[in-house]
Amino acid sequence: MNNPNAENFLEIRGLKKYFEAGNSTLFSRETRQIHAVDDVNLTLRRSEVIALVGESGCGKSTLGLLLMGLEDPTAGTVTFEDQDITHLNDTQRKGLRRKIQMVFQDPYESLNPTQTIAEIVTEPLLVHGIGEREERVKKAMEDAGLKPAEVYLGRYPHELSGGQRQRVVIAAALVLEPEIIIADEPVSMLDVSIRAEVINLLADLRISRQIAVIFITHDLGSVGFFADRVAVMYLGRIVEVGTMLDVLEKPQHPYTKALLSVIPVPNPRLRHERIILQGETPNPINVPSGCRFHPRCPAAFDTCKLSDPPMTTLTKTHQAACLLVAGSK
Ligand SMILES: Nc1ncnc2c1ncn2[C@@H]1O[C@H](COP(=O)(O)OP(=O)(O)O)[C@@H](O)[C@H]1O
Ligand SMILES: [Mg+2]
């Protein structure tokens, strides 16, 4: 059921996922926990594209899996069209699958090599007992840029290029007519030359099918300029969120500034001095006290070791979690 109130589309509140990491020492009883997702708050509007950006290991994929119900959250809630989808039974979860689909990073792994493209794209319809399969498969394939569909139907994954395979994965997601696609690094395994094509495809889909997209990437430079908003994630937490312009032109969090500084940009207005982050790569088992970014932060001061900065509102659209933003220095 379509909810006209766009604000109540997808709401993530206080979402956490801690994995057990085994005992800290052989004789210790204390189990250590991996804080993969650690208090994430985010709202997605209908047919909105959000880029979720952060370096490898910061919890992006886990967040996607939580939204899909493929991982159980440790705490927090996710509501979709006013329904709490945090803990669903199998039947309810299956119903939701039609509306929220995920496209994974590796099109080679996501496709069964023994099935034809027709079988792969038809399978979700069979699972959900949906009829008019031929027309739906053809439309999904053509919307995913596999035109004319007849050329591809009888082929096997190994007969296609990497870009075409990723289009098959997208077609298999589209065939259920979802309202949200979570695209987890959908272009990072593809040649640079075809990345733009796949990004443009996702951009077209949000217009032609009004699909909302959570575009997960470790590379702020590949956000593709099709995202409406950008959420920057660090060690399980969103540390800055804003419109594309907010984040690219007025980044506030020192981590966002560091990510931006290393992207090659043709526009001199956006060019920054390269900020090379110091310190060890973050470890989600030992999350630093205070601001979790402070050991690597070029702007940190003493208070940052003690105080965990909340998200501070800069404008109606732009928020960041940094004491410098809060103006306390
Ligand atoms: N099933 C799991 N069991 C234990 N640790 C996990 C599991 N899945 C992810 N992690 C850990 O959680 C953290 C976040 O991982 P992930 O969500 O894959 O990050 P990203 O997608 O941003 O690279 C990493 O430290 C990763 O090793
Ligand atoms: Mg990942």
CATH number at residue 48: 3.40.50.300
- Does 132 fall in a domain? no
Give pLDDT tens digits for 207-256. Answer: 899 999 999 998 888 776 789 999 999 999 999 999 999 999 999 999 99
* DSSP for residue 160: S
* Percent of the chain whose predicted confidence (pLDDT) is above 90: 66
- Mean pLDDT value across residues 263-288: 74
Residue where the block lists tokens 């190994």: 158
Question: The pTM is what?
Answer: 0.92
Q: 164 C-alpha to center of ligand 1: Å?
A: 28
Q: How many residues belong to the chain?
A: 329
CB 52 within 8 A of CB 214: yes
- Does 89 fall in a domain? yes
- Does 108 fall in a domain? no
- Does 141 fall in a domain? no
User: Which residue in 230, 226, 173 sits closest to 197, CA to CA?
Assistant: 226
Structural domain span for residue 222: 6-24+32-99+178-326
- Does 116 fall in a domain? no
Q: Which ligand is nearest to the CA of 184?
A: 2
The pLDDT score that the predictor gives to residue 2 is: 46
- Does 90 fall in a domain? yes
CA 238, CA 14: separation in Å to the nearest integer?
11
CA 116, CA 114: separation in Å to the nearest integer?
7
Q: Which ligand is nearest to the CA of 185?
A: 2
Number of domains in the chain: 1
- Does 152 fall in a domain? no
Atom 7 of ligand 1: nearest residue by CA position: 19
The H or E element containing residue 40 is strand 31-44
The confidence band for 172, taking pLDDT boundaries of 50, 70 and 90, is: very high
Q: 262 C-alpha to center of ligand 2: Å?
A: 20
Q: List Cα–Cα distances, 74 to 37, 177, 240, in angstroms.
A: 9, 30, 23
Structure-model confidence comparison of residues 158 and 270, the more confident one: 158
- Does 171 fall in a domain? no
Give pLDDT tens digits for 31-46. Answer: 789 999 999 999 999 9
The residues facing 84 across adjacent strands are 79
Which tokens sit at 327?
């103006």
CA 19, CA 59: separation in Å to the nearest integer?
11
